[in-house]
Structure 1
Amino acid sequence: MRLGDYRYPMKWTGATGLMDHIGKRLTIRLHDVDGGYRDIVGILESPSTLRHKDGREITFSQNEIAIYREIIQVPQMAGKGAPLSIRIIELEKLLNSTWSATEQIMHGEWLFRASGKFTMRANSVLPQGAPPYGEPEKNIDEAIQDVITFYAHRDLEPIFHLPLPLYEELFTYLLAHGWREKLRAQVQVADIGISEIKSDSILEISNSCNPEWLSVQGDEQLLNLMEKTPARYYILKRDNNPVAVLRAGIQDDWAVISRLFVKPEYRGLKFSQELMLSVFNDLYSSGIAKVALQVDISNGPAMALYKGLGFRKHHEYSYVIQSEAS
């Protein structure tokens, strides 16, 4: 199966075995009395009737059947369906739910987040309301001052997390009033499947973050933050030595990839790709077919890795901070 391709084959079959498809949606090709064929489509209710989507009953004789096939509904693709503005907000809420800040307070439709000095996502304000400004509870200048005050009381740098292009006007307004962009990143999504992997590596999986996983990247300071939400922790080992680690936050039918790290002495050997594909196999086998991640657009190697794995851009976001002069 090609990575990302989970459409099932639709094999044409003769009339034999029709009873096994009762209750399923079929397309049936019938021999026409004048020669040639005609197709009928609907839910098979009996060996001689289909129920069309408009409610009509369609009758036929099994003697008329040339071939038939079951129609398998293709699952909704990651990041598709609703209008982009709605999808951006929904996906940002999903990402937040798998990396939940220690302190979260809503001010209007602005989510204030604080978690100490680690990670910008968990220490920034995320607008979640309608454009142009995301529906803060006060006028824009007073709302911005509330952000500055909130983080000053916690000895933290005030940061806006602005999904784009949804809050492009807020982004422009902040830049015109003494703020600057610190980092631009992409949210990427992919539809995953099963891949064949030939390797001598061993994949260890845990639902909790153990000391060995933490030691690979030195993530001990993030332990409390990571354990706030459900996740799977993966270690790729070669000759019983940890080579690479990854965290997959789990929410409904999504997984959010983060903390991918390959030990320096093993870099350049495609262990990151092997780990990702191994994780996809585990996730897909447990019913998760949609994944998301975030990547700094200046990180060329990571961008190339994810593109090769079938990821595509959903939207960008910007972390905006106060300029020193302001």
Structure 2
Amino acid sequence: MNPVETLEQACSDAWPPLKQHRLGEWRLRWAGGFTGRANSALAVGDPGMPIAEALRAVCDFAHSQGIPPAVQAVNGSRAEAEILAEGWRENVEHAAGYEVSVLVGVAMNGPFLAKNGRNGPFIASVRDTPTPTWWELSAGTTEPTPAQRHVLGTGANGYGVVEVDGVTAGAVRVAIVGPVAHISRLAVRPEFRRRGLAAELMFAASSWAKERGAGQEVLQVSVSNTPALALYRELGFTEHHRYRYWVPPMATCKDRKS
């Protein structure tokens, strides 16, 4: 695999679905509808069969799990070109954003820290287990579903929080996959924004990852999320590649049970 495909596989390992089926090097994933990444086929590498046959397998798997068929493919890749040639289209309806920027870097950025420092009394910590308030900020509920618990709770993870006046003001998740630290679910309550808490959470996540041997950090951010992209650029992250979600025309991907 090339470096882009290898990084995509690591990101997938950091975001494990409830159910996964291998199709050659492709991954067919299901997690009860929780996030596009965990409920789509990751089309990197060789599926071990002609693309049309592989896409039919994607449809069959999705229908068997009760989710709409979707494929995640790297922008400009051979797989994407073949998917387009089969009549699939960009999933512009995807609520979280159908095109995603994959960023790499290290949040313990010397120039940023020299300019901004740590955030005074508001120092984030990273814990081994998520708290109810972490779940509230990261998943919108203090009682996560089995799919949310599995996707966000499986693996070597750290759960960052920052407290302000006794309130959990922000949260982040960091997952270690070999030498890669996958950072996600960064959130700050609206009333606590513009105080540097997001940067403080990123610093804590980066420190935690570095202590565990991670030499590279990666984020996956919708290209429409301009505030987040601006923060990560200031922290020294740069774009590695992009991917998009693709969906089939109905006529080419019917539910075979119907």
**Counterpart position of 1:127:** 43
Alignment of 1:275-290 (within 5 A): 275-290=201-216
Task: Tell me if the contact between 1:178 and 1:325 (Cα under 8 Å) persists in the aligned partners.
Answer: no
Residue 198 of structure 1 and its aligned partner are, at CA, apart by 4.0
CA distance in 2, matches of 1:267, 1:86: 39
Task: Tell me if the contact between 2:174 and 2:181 (Cα under 8 Å) persists in the aligned partners.
Answer: yes
Residue 178 of structure 1 and its aligned partner are, at CA, apart by 4.5
Question: Structure 2 unaligned runs (5+)?
Answer: 93-97, 253-258
Alignment of 1:82-231 (within 5 A): 86-129=2-45, 135-166=46-77, 167-174=79-86, 177-182=87-92, 183-193=98-108, 195=113, 196-217=117-138, 218-219=140-141, 220-221=144-145, 222-231=148-157
**Counterpart position of 1:235:** 161
Runs of 4+ in 1 over 6 A off after TM superposition: none
1:124-158, Cα deviation, whole Å (9 max, x unpaired): 111232xxxxx333322222122112111111010
Task: Tell me if the contact between 1:197 and 1:278 (Cα under 8 Å) persists in the aligned partners.
Answer: no
Confirm whether residue 294 of structure 1 aligns to residue 220 of structure 2.
yes
In structure 2, which of residues 177, 181, 186 is the aligned counterpart of residue 251 of structure 1? Answer: 177
Q: Which has the higher contact order (CA 8 A, sep 6+)?
A: 2
CA distance in 1, matches of 2:90, 2:107: 36
CA distance in 2, matches of 1:269, 1:323: 46
Task: Tell me if the contact between 2:183 and 2:205 (Cα under 8 Å) persists in the aligned partners.
Answer: no
- Per the normalisation by structure 1, the TM-score is 0.67
1:244-265, Cα deviation, whole Å (9 max, x unpaired): 0000011223211001111122
**Counterpart position of 1:71:** none
- Percent identity, aligned pairs only, is 28
Report which of the two structures shows the higher radius of gyration computed on alpha carbons: 1
CA distance in 1, matches of 2:212, 2:50: 46
Confirm whether residue 308 of structure 1 aligns to residue 234 of structure 2.
yes
Residue 91 of structure 1 and its aligned partner are, at CA, apart by 0.3
The answer to which structure has the higher helix fraction is 2
CA distance in 1, matches of 2:4, 2:152: 23
The answer to which structure has the higher strand fraction is 1
- Per the normalisation by structure 2, the TM-score is 0.83
AA aligned to 1:106 is: R
Residue 110 of structure 1 and its aligned partner are, at CA, apart by 1.9
Residue 179 of structure 1 and its aligned partner are, at CA, apart by 2.8
The 1:168–1:322 alpha-carbon spacing in structure 2 relative to 1, beyond 3 Å, is closer
Task: Tell me if the contact between 2:105 and 2:218 (Cα under 8 Å) persists in the aligned partners.
Answer: yes
RMSD value, Cα: 2.1
The 1:96–1:289 alpha-carbon spacing in structure 2 relative to 1, beyond 3 Å, is same
1:193-225, Cα deviation, whole Å (9 max, x unpaired): 364414111323211222231123425231122
Residue 271 of structure 1 and its aligned partner are, at CA, apart by 1.8
CA distance in 1, matches of 2:80, 2:28: 19
SS of match in other structure, 1:153: helix
AA aligned to 1:204 is: S
